[in-house]
Structure formats: C-alpha cells, structure tokens
Amino acid sequence: MRLPPHLAVRDGRLLIGSHDCVALAERFGTPLYVTDGDRILHNYERYANALKAHYPKVRVLYAAKANSNLSILRMLAIAGAGADVFSSGEIELALKAGMKPQDLLFNGSSKSRRDLALAVERGVRISVDSLDELTQLEEMAASANRMVKIAFRVNPALEVPTHPKIATGLRTSKFGIPHEEVVSAYREAMRCPHLEPAGMHCHIGSQILEMAPFAEAARVMLRLAGELKDIGIHLEFIDLGGGLGIPYRREQDPEVGPEDYASAVMPHFLKGIRELGIEPELWVEPGRFIVADSTLLLTRVNSVKHAHANFANVDAGFNLLVRPVMYDAYHEVIAAGKADQPATQVWTIAGPICESGDILARDRRMPELIAGDLLAILDAGAYGFVMSSQYNARPRCAEVLLRGDEARLVRRAETMEDIISTMVV
C-alpha cells in the first residue's frame, strides 16, 4: 500500500511521524485517535499556497466541523487560518482557539435565534440561507444596533460525483438559495439597514475527486457576481466552499490535490473578476483535505471468530467512527504491530456495538490476527471523533496530538462518570 509521507513501517511496526503506534497504544490506551499535527500544517500550507500561486487575496477558512479539537484549531489559528463554523459551539471553539470574529463565516440552513445573537454580538460574518433568516437577522442586528456583514449561500444546482448524503449543491439539497433567486435575495438585503451584503458563498459537496464540478461552481458564482455588480453590490469576498476529496482507497483513487483544484477553478475566477473589474478576496473552506490523512484510529482486537467470515472484533465501532456505516466509506486498515507480515487472510473488522451494521471494514487482506493485536484505521482525522457518540453507554476515547517527537493528550477519554453526570434520576 502507498503510504503518505508521515506514515512508515519500520521493523514491522507502523509509525506515525516518529512515533511507534504500538507504543502509543500502550501509553495512552485504546481506542485512541492519534493525530500528526505537523501533517495538518503541511496540508494547510499546501492548500493555501496552491491558490495563492494564482491570486494573492486568498483566505483559507478551515471547516471546523471536520475536526474541532481545540488544539488543532489553535494550531491552524496560529498558521493564519480562519474558520467555516456551523453552530454557536463552533463559533465559541474557533474564538477560544484564537481566531478573530472577522475570520469566521457562520454557515447553516437552520440557525437558532441564540446562534444568530452570538454571531451578531461577536461580529462574525453570516452566510444567510433563507429570506426568513434574513428578516430575523435584520431584526436582531437592529435591536443590537450593529451592522452585520452577510453573504448568501447560493445553491448552484450542480450534480457532483460523491455520496448523495454529502452532495450539498444539488437543486434538491436543503442548503442555499436557488441560484435563479439569488439576485432578488440581495435586493432584499439591500433594503435591510443593518445588514451589509459583503460576500457570496457556495459549497457543492464533500469528498469530490473530479475537478469539473468545482470549475462549474466557480463559473456560476462569477456569473452571479456580475449580476450583483449590475444592481450595485460590490462583493468583498467570494467563498467557493470546500469539498476536495482525499484518496481513501489508496490503490485506486486518483491522487488529486489543491494544485489540481486551483488549476481547475482559478482560470474561471480570474477571468470573471477581470471582466467585471473587481478584486474580491477569494475564500475557501477545506475541511477534509486539511485533517483527514493526519489521523489514525488505533483499536485493539478483543477476540477473533472464524465463522462465515474471519471476524476481528475490535474495541472501536461506529460509536467512534461512523463513516463506514453512514456513507459506506472505505478506510484502509493496517495491523500496526505486524505491518511487515504477509497478508494471508481475509478479515472483517467488526466493532463492539449491538448492531449488525457495526462493521468498520470488510474483506481486507491482512496477516493472521489474534486477540490483543493492534489495528490502525487510516485517514480518520476528518469527520471522525467529531461524529462520535456514547451509544451503548460507551465513553468516547482519548485524542493524542503529535508534534515532532512530542505526543500529548489533547482530549482525555471520557469515563462512566462523564456519561452519568448529565443524567437526573
């Protein structure tokens, strides 16, 4: 298997950065999320530089939903990232991590009044998703006596080659204002004395490995920017969202990167702004590309069972990584202490949850496994821990962040006390 440069095999052991996974599991226990912070910074810089090579006024708003551990947000804040935030919780985390309110864009199709109030009070820009939200926001900005900079989320009605649950720019999606109605929405916003229509936003979906839909979205956005110019709106920023995928199936997925994304999108963006004579900032919101490959989920084999299939029953299930069950997602699995042994058997990796769907990986060629073996599930950094649950009264596991030779706990494992503490008998 082709491993990314921060992973390696030495003496049969899987290493992440300079750290032996078997030793990390012994030190911190399993299940365990282990993140290579240096890899995150590398991915972030790569993404930002790929776009800045075409146009200097680029801002990267990391999609905090992908992984909102405070230590990771803090590292990205120091590196200069802003954030796409989707709830008042994510606003609070991003601010606590040191990001500035003006470097955040608050997105979402169902914001509560409390969410909106926090964004107004803190001076966070808001991507408005409906005319009802616009009216509520104007009222709130007026009563707080604040000017709020807004964008509208555009639904560009584009088909994208990804799992239907994560295609967000379809005509039938719940997100955004249909592109034919966008200009009239901005007209409406111009009549709101406390709202300043400063930007325009779209996001077409996630885990996209073909570049054509991104280029098409850029074309739609620049066409709309022209129509907005005609009604007197000068956009400060155009936000093209996130969505660049990663090669989870390392043997067969195309290895596309931000350079390919930039080569597909930037010609449309640059041609559009030149024709219009405008120079807005270009905002982008990558989540997965920045964090996915930085992280392993380490899980230990509790028992093996040779039935109609060879089951390795492990201590992590969809309580900790829901992607395989929810999107039929594929994650590579490596036997972290036997990484040089021949893959002679076919295994199903099954979690401990009381549901037959709790399978993390199917039909994988791996060495012979026994109870106590350690498995590493790759590419677990995006939409991994953040989507975890306490189903079956299982406390969530710890997270460790690696920087160089240092390994630090950045989230302790929950205990039964944590689970019980919010209950009232």
Q: Which residues bind ligand LLP (CB under 6 A)?
A: 63, 65-66, 84, 107, 166, 168, 203, 206-207, 241-244, 285-289, 323, 327, 382-383
By beta-carbon proximity to ligand LLP, the closer residue of 24 and 256 is 256
User: How far apart are the C-alpha atoms of 279 and 416, rounded to whole Å?
Assistant: 54
Exposed, middle or buried by CB within 10 Å (0-12, 13-18, 19+), for 283? buried
- Rounded to the nearest whole angstrom, what is the least distance from the CB of residue 394 to ligand LLP in the complex? 20
Shorter beta-carbon distance to ligand LLP: residue 65 or 338: 65
> What are the C-alpha distances in Å from 134 to residues 103, 109, 385?
21, 12, 33
Residue 103 Cβ vs ligand LLP, minimum distance, rounded to whole Å: 15
Residues 6+ apart with CB under 8 A from 118: 88, 91, 92, 124
| DSSP per-residue string spanning 84-100 | EE-SHHHHHHHHHTT--
Helix axes 70-79, 88-96, angle to 10 degrees: 60
Q: How far apart (Å, rounded) are the C-alpha atoms in residues 86 and 65?
A: 7
Nearer Cβ to ligand LLP, position 87 or 310?
87
The packing angle between helices 37-52 and 258-276, to 10°, is 30
Q: Where are the beta strands (DSSP E) in 94-170?
A: 104-106, 125-128, 148-155
Report, in Å, the least distance between residue 360 CB and ligand LLP: 14
- CA 319 distance to own-chain centroid: 18
The string of DSSP letters for 325-379 reads: HHH-----EEETT-TTS---EEEEEE-SSSSTT-EEEEEEEE----TT-EEEE-S
Which CB sits closer to ligand LLP, 84 or 138?
A: 84
Length of the chain equals 425
Closer residue to ligand LLP (CB): 141 or 322: 322
Q: Which is nearer to ligand LLP, 37 or 258 (CB)?
A: 258
Point out which residues pair with 301 in neighbouring strands. 314
Report the C-alpha gap between 103 and 312 in whole angstroms.
45
How many Cα neighbours within 13 Å face the side chain of 148? 35
CB of 216 to ligand LLP, least distance (A): 17
**Cα gap 53→263, rounded to integer Å:** 10
Shortest Cβ distance from residue 420 to ligand LLP (Å)? 29
Nearer CB in complex with ligand LLP: 203/394: 203
Active-site position among 21, 192, 202, 354: 354
Please count the other Cβ atoms lying within 10 Å of the Cβ belonging to residue 143: 11
**Pairing state between β 295-306 and 374-377:** antiparallel
Q: How far is the CB of 289 from ligand LLP (least distance, A)?
A: 6
Concerning whether 21 is annotated as a catalytic residue, the answer is no
Which residue number, 284 or 407, has a Cβ lying nearer to ligand LLP? 284
Smallest distance from ligand LLP to CB 295, Å: 13
Tell me the closest approach of the beta carbon of residue 422 to ligand LLP, in angstroms: 25
Is residue 239 within 8 A of residue 281, CB to CB? The reply is no
Which positions are annotated as active-site residues?
354
